[in-house]
Amino acid sequence: MNQRRSVPEVNGFNLEQLIGQFQIVAEFEEGHAWSKGHINDTYVITCRQGGTHIRYILQRVNHHVFQYPELVMNNVKITTEHLRKKIALEDSYDLTRRTMTLIPTRGGAPYYRDSDGNYWRAYVFIERVTSTHVAGQPAQAAQVGRAFGMFQKRLADLSPEKVQETIPEFHNGLLRFKALEKAVAADSAGRVAGSQAAIDFCRQQRSTVCLLLDALTRGELPLRITHNDTKIDNVLFDTESGEVVCIVDLDTVMPGLVHYDFGDMVRTLTSPADEDERDLTKVTMRLEYFEELAKGYFAEASGFLTQAERDYLAISGKVITLILGIRFLTDHLDGDAYFRVHREGQNLDRARVQFKLVESMLEQEKSMKEVIAALG
């Protein structure tokens, strides 16, 4: 936690007044900005209840990124309430640490909208946890796989019709490919010539982007409620035991395929390279990490997965990775309009990393399928 500022107003916001809009029976003591997260503005609020200090998270939802914040917060409310009930049935111990606890406003709403049109929400702060950016060993990949498998399992009996799509066509690979071709034709930033090899790779893999969408369209795969941002950063680990405590960042929870979550775990957990690594020799899909990830995931998810869902798991990584690579490449060609960059060519480097990872998955696809088949 960084730069404590013991003043009610931070960044122009009266934190005491804002936290007072929520159902918190405690006295405000201090609030400070928290540097974690890149999309929403986050503040840590400390209150006193009797002789005990209790901390809360206060967030201003970025309604420029999430253009339908009401839908986002309704999804979060429905999801957290369902998870809380399921966890309580299993074991009510440490309930406020094992799922995010959304605090309603004094009027009972899941968010507060201020006079300037800003959307605010409050959560109980989850204590004694840590997070990481990379899986340092295969066992950690297994932990993350198990955590998201359990997340899906607990939501498997909640109809996807209960939540709404907050980012339309988020995983529609065909639309992403069409956007790429449009960017190539426009060449608005004059970058097509220097990106031709990456463009050619996408065109060679065009059929890959539609594999999951086509299976969904044919009725082979069921819609479920999925997280849609399954990087290891969104898993909190206990500071003492190292065990998974909670999954956070539920803003992208919406109807989807389990393969969106599993595929993104394959992408983020199996490669040792940074997302914008320039030395592509460092980029590879480590099979031992994939195997442990799959084992952890199946330990929780095997009971609800259909056979068709199992059949598509091994190829989900290449689909999701390719789609993200196409998005990076498109943004590069458009002049870096969407993804934040810190140097010229960073989005092209990001795209090349994704495509090299897809190549590695293609080379090992037979082994990946054997791993999934062995797990049943």
Here the CATH number for the domain that contains residue 257 is 3.90.1200.10
Look at residue 134 in the predicted model and tell me its pLDDT: 84
54: three-class secondary structure by DSSP = strand
Assess whether 63 and 152 both reside in one domain.
Answer: no
- In the chain, the DSSP E strands lie at 9-10, 13-14, 27-34, 41-49, 52-61, 102-103, 112-113, 119-124, 129-130, 224-226, 235-238, 244-247, 254-256
Q: 199 and 103, same structural domain?
A: no
89 & 160 share domain: no
Task: Look at residue 167 and tell me if it is in a domain.
Answer: yes
What CATH number is attached to the domain comprising 14? 3.30.200.20
* Torsion sign, CA atoms 169, 170, 176, 182: positive
Domain C-terminal end among 79, 101, 127: 127
Q: Which among 65, 93, 127 is the end of a domain?
A: 127
Q: Contact at 8 Å (CB) between 235 and 147?
A: yes
Tally of structural domains, the chain: 2
Interval 353-374: pLDDT, tens:
999 999 999 999 999 999 999 9
Vertex 310: Cα angle to 328 and 367 (nearest 5): 75
Residue 133 is assigned to a structural domain of this protein:
no
Instruction: Identify whether residues 149 and 241 lie together within a single domain.
Output: yes
Q: Is residue 4 a part of any domain in this protein?
A: no
- For position 79, what pLDDT does the model report? 97
> DSSP letters along 167-203, please?
STTTT-HHHHHHHHHHHHHH-TTS-SGGGHHHHHHHH
How much is the pLDDT for 38? 61
Q: Mapping DSSP to helix (H, G, I), strand (E, B) and coil, where does residue 216 land?
A: helix
HSE, side-chain direction, 13 A CA sphere, residue 248: 23
The alpha carbon of 350 is separated from its chain's Cα centroid by a whole number of angstroms, namely 18
What span, in angstroms and rounded, lies between the C-alpha atoms of 249 and 80? Answer: 11
pLDDT in the model for residue 234: 95
pLDDT for the residue numbered 37:
64
Same domain, 213 and 359: yes
Same domain flag for 88 and 219: no
User: Which residue ranges of the chain lie beneath pLDDT 70?
Assistant: 1-8, 36-38, 92
Residues 321, 141: Cα–Cα separation, whole Å: 17
Q: Is residue 154 part of a domain?
A: yes
Range of the domain at 102: 9-127
Residues 6+ apart with CB under 8 A from 298: 149, 375, 376
Q: Kindly state whether residue 357 falls inside one of the protein's structural domains.
A: yes
Q: Which of 221, 204, 219, 307 is nearest to 260 (CA)?
A: 221
Do 198 and 324 lie in one domain? The reply is yes
Both 162 and 64 in a single domain?
A: no
